Amino acid sequence: MFSGLPGDPVMLLSVINTKLRDHYPTLEALCDDLQIDSRELTDRLGAIDYAYDAARNQFV
C-alpha cells in the first residue's frame, strides 16, 4: 500500500494520471517525489491492464 494514495486500483489510476498530467514530467519524477517504488506501481496498475506510456506520460 502506498501511503496517502488510494488502495483501490481504479482510484489509484485516476490519482496517478492526474498527478502525472498536472505536476510531474515523468513517472520517475513522480515516484521519486512520492517515495514510491515504480515497479510496484506499474505492477499494481498492470493488474487492471494499464501500462505506462512515456510518450503520453500516463497510464493507458
User: With contact defined as beta carbons under 8 Å apart, do 31 and 37 qualify?
Assistant: yes
Q: What is the pTM assigned to this prediction?
A: 0.94
Q: What is the pLDDT of residue 23?
A: 98
Q: What is the pLDDT of residue 1?
A: 65
Q: pLDDT tens, position by position, for the chain (60 residues)?
A: 688 899 999 999 999 999 999 999 999 999 999 999 999 999 999 999 999 999 999 999
Q: What is the pLDDT of residue 46?
A: 98
User: With contact defined as beta carbons under 8 Å apart, do 42 and 30 qualify?
Assistant: no
